[in-house]
Structure 1
Amino acid sequence: MKKNIIDMRGLIMVEKSYFGALDDGTEIDLYKITNKSGAYVKLQTLGAGIQSLYVPDKNGVLSDVVLGFDNPQDYTDPDHGYQGLVVGRWANRIRDAKFTFNGEEYHTPINQGRWTLHSGGRFSFTPWEVEETGDDYVVFKRFSPDLEDGFGGNFTMRVKYTFTEDNTLRLEYMIMSDKDTVANPTNHSYFNLSGNDDEIIDSHYLMINADYFTETDDDQLPTGELGELKGTMMDFSTMHKIGEHINEPFRAVIDGVGYDNNYCLRKKDFTMQQAAVLEHRGSGRRLEVYTDLPGIQLYCGGWLDKNYTAGKGTNVVKYRRGAALETQFYPDTVNHQDVFPARFVKANEEFKTVTEFRFSVID
């Protein structure tokens, strides 16, 4: 069932519809924002996630450019890769599932190897409240009590999605806590700009505005050191196909997985910068990623199963079908506070960070 939310002037602000139910019976809704050109995004209450995003190609044809599922329950399986979901409180990895902050030691869930990945997934795999809607935006909200999953502070995160007339999807993360604490929110969408259900990510062109990456050990946990990108298979300082070097051996890349690495963006002052540009030459679609955070994780779905069958119709989520471009603080910054660029949540002061996905067509 669909329901149009109407403002005082009688204009359609947001279209709400029922998406489905989780195995425990929890109902999940979709909120659709459409701009005047007909492009639109659908956002789900589960994990405050992006369920679909339709933007035009060079001929004006709309196609869905994010991976995902027809069934909300499929989103709750961590092996499916957090498709389109918000990640919090702390995205990416925390070594040994612990860290010390302001003199206190905190212990977080061990949900991969001996470490924490994406804070254990609670923010991603549970429903959020819709707090507000407007002409072109939806605000999702989630409260996390003190020491939930080991993190300090009574913590409220709001995520405001705005979809503009020029096909920009703006994500504003707004956080309040009653105690100094840590935060590293991101969105985990996987982009495939082709509009073709059978095309993998290798054919896309990518540029990342970075000269360094975070060096990692055999578990892909940061060592605290930075490595130079120039001349390596990880270097995307000039645009080239993702598949050109993805299978080449390199110390920071796991054989058969390919890119799953944090790139250190050039600006470290927490102001907006262009982080990455993704292009699909056949369709003419172009995505520019802007952020005020200092890092971006490039992950091309190399851990996903090659034989998955779930997806949206025939648009299946599986190995190397999409590229995640996760804006973030560097992984495990909580254990490298003196060497990685950091900004933390101050008690009773709003913490805010912004990421924009700007879509256009290649001239």
Structure 2
Amino acid sequence: MKSIIPILFFVALVYQFFSCSTPTQQAETAGPPAEGQLSLQQSSFGRMDDGTAVSLYTLTNASGMEVRITNYGGTVVALLAPDRQGRLEDVVLGFDSLQGYRSPLYLQEGPYFGALIGRYGNRIALGRFALDGQPYQLATNNEPNHLHGGTRGFDKVVWQAEPLQEPDAVGVQLRHISPDGEEGYPGTLTVEVTYRLTNDNALSIHYSATTDQKTVLNLTNHTYFNLSGSARRDILAHELMLEADRFLPVSESLIPLGELRPVAGTSFDFTQPTPIGQRIDQSNEQLAVGRGYDHCWVLRGTAGEMRRAATLHDPASGRFMEVFTTEPAIQFYSGNFLKGNLTGKGEVAYGQRWGLCLETQHYPDSPNQPAFPSTELKPGEVYETQTTYRFSVK
């Protein structure tokens, strides 16, 4: 009898261990990743007002670069990249908790920090368009126009999330079904967005979607970058290069005029690396309209093929970012409408031009401008684009 008791005690311990450790709990309580390995951790990021749980996914590569993504809005919450001394610091704007993204002030200001944008990134004039003669009216949440998918765009959705661990990448796959008529758009839309972090310090975003009715679609990401690290200064000394010889001038309400204007000899020429602050305050009608840069550049090369779209360099830290995309255009927004009234990570007040966005996308207002590349999506077709942000130093 005495010999049986230790065996029973051991069995009880084993049973208790396995019965108390679900896969989710193991992920949420996992310790720091082993050095030199790709890792993925899942933790709580808070709850919505209705009790829906929101998660945070921390992706880490072998060199220590780290990306944090929440399934609320598919938002890039943090991105830690090394400077020339190897110090890892956060290079995107955002908040430490869900409450920051849900506060009344944030929702009123609408900066879209790090968010997935849809159904239609950028503006649609007067919130109106037609398909096959059928008119559609969208929310005019950026009077007098529709902006970034409307009052409750994809940035305010809790996406279904599935962690990904692959031999050469870690990531998270997000899925959302947008019902017919949501925000005024036709068609039930099934969207999948996959973030992947690789060991070459690249964060890729793959977008795909299908519809059961003809609709329009233009997905993008609205991350604000500040390569100085921990947003210690504004982005005016950052050097930007855009692989674009033309840009789209806009009206006073930031709707494209329909012209593809050459950048040569203008304040919009970033064909060579140029400090953002060098010409941003020049006397220029287009700069006045946007209070700086808030325009779409037409990328060189063939849309649908992966090619370089932009580079961004912070000379002080040495951080260097390259942007690659299959999209036809890129929207460069220099953070002109940040007011300093939102306090983010590290108790930093995000003032004007404290971060910049490089939003790969189709042209704004394409549904109303037949000369622009089409953003229509039909049943049986698959919408598919990819953008990659790669980090290094120089």
Q: TM-score, normalised by structure 1?
A: 0.93
CA separation in 2, counterparts of 1:132 and 1:102?
40
Q: Is the 8 A contact 1:168 1:356 kept in 2?
A: yes
User: Does 2:218 align with 1:181?
Assistant: no
C-alpha displacement at 1:2, in angstroms?
7.2
1:206-259 Cα distance to aligned partner (Å, 9 max, x none): 001111111211111111112121111111111110011111122222368211
256 and 95 in structure 1: CA distance in 2 versus 1, 3 angstrom threshold: closer
C-alpha displacement at 1:108, in angstroms?
0.8
C-alpha displacement at 1:347, in angstroms?
0.7
2:157 aligned to which of 121, 126, 133: 126
Q: Is the 8 A contact 2:91 2:229 kept in 1?
A: yes
1:316 aligned partner: 349
2:27 aligned partner: 4
1:81 aligned partner: 111
What is the percentage of aligned positions where both structures have the same residue?
38
C-alpha displacement at 1:143, in angstroms?
0.8
1:209 aligned to which of 243, 254, 261: 243
Matched AA of 1:319: Q
1:105-143 Cα distance to aligned partner (Å, 9 max, x none): 111111011110111142101211103522411101111
Matched AA of 1:128: W
CA separation in 2, counterparts of 1:132 and 1:309?
31
CA separation in 2, counterparts of 1:288 and 1:12?
22
Structure 1 SS opposite 2:68: strand
1:250 aligned to which of 261, 275, 284: 284
After the TM superposition, which residues 28-67 of structure 1 pair with which residues of structure 2 at under 5 Å, given as runs? Answer: 28-67=54-93
Q: Is the 8 A contact 2:249 2:259 kept in 1?
A: yes
User: Does 2:143 align with 1:113?
Assistant: yes
After the TM superposition, which residues 121-160 of structure 1 pair with which residues of structure 2 at under 5 Å, given as runs? Answer: 121-135=152-166, 136-160=170-194
3 and 214 in structure 1: CA distance in 2 versus 1, 3 angstrom threshold: farther
2:4 aligned partner: none
196 and 162 in structure 1: CA distance in 2 versus 1, 3 angstrom threshold: closer
CA separation in 2, counterparts of 1:12 and 1:283?
25
Q: Is the 8 A contact 2:210 2:383 kept in 1?
A: yes
1:334 aligned to which of 345, 367, 370: 367
Identify unmatched segments of 5+ residues in structure 1.
Answer: none
Following TM superposition, where does structure 1 have runs of at least 4 consecutive aligned residues deviating by more than 6 angstroms? Answer: none
CA separation in 1, counterparts of 2:280 and 2:49?
37
CA separation in 2, counterparts of 1:264 and 1:125?
29
Larger % of helix: which?
2
1:349 aligned partner: 381
Q: Is the 8 A contact 1:13 1:133 kept in 2?
A: no
After the TM superposition, which residues 264-343 of structure 1 pair with which residues of structure 2 at under 5 Å, given as runs? Answer: 264-306=298-340, 308-336=341-369, 338-343=370-375
Question: Mean Cα displacement is larger for which, 341-350 or 192-201?
Answer: 341-350
CA separation in 2, counterparts of 1:197 and 1:115?
31
Matched AA of 1:242: I
78 and 352 in structure 1: CA distance in 2 versus 1, 3 angstrom threshold: farther
Q: Is the 8 A contact 1:197 1:314 kept in 2?
A: no
Structure 2 SS opposite 1:223: coil
C-alpha displacement at 1:104, in angstroms?
1.9
Which of 1 and 2 has greater Rg? 2
RMSD value, Cα? 2.0
User: Does 2:135 align with 1:102?
Assistant: no
C-alpha displacement at 1:343, in angstroms?
4.6
Q: Is the 8 A contact 1:80 1:304 kept in 2?
A: no
Q: Is the 8 A contact 2:242 2:311 kept in 1?
A: yes
Q: Is the 8 A contact 1:67 1:315 kept in 2?
A: no
Larger % of strand: which?
1
Q: TM-score, normalised by structure 2?
A: 0.86
CA separation in 1, counterparts of 2:25 and 2:69?
14
1:280-325 Cα distance to aligned partner (Å, 9 max, x none): 011111111111111111111111113x242012333331111100
Structure 2 SS opposite 1:74: helix
Structure 1 SS opposite 2:374: coil
Question: Mean Cα displacement is larger for which, 104-113 or 314-323?
Answer: 314-323
C-alpha displacement at 1:169, in angstroms?
0.3
CA separation in 2, counterparts of 1:225 and 1:78?
32
132 and 74 in structure 1: CA distance in 2 versus 1, 3 angstrom threshold: same
Q: Is the 8 A contact 1:107 1:150 kept in 2?
A: yes
Identify unmatched segments of 5+ residues in structure 2.
Answer: 1-23
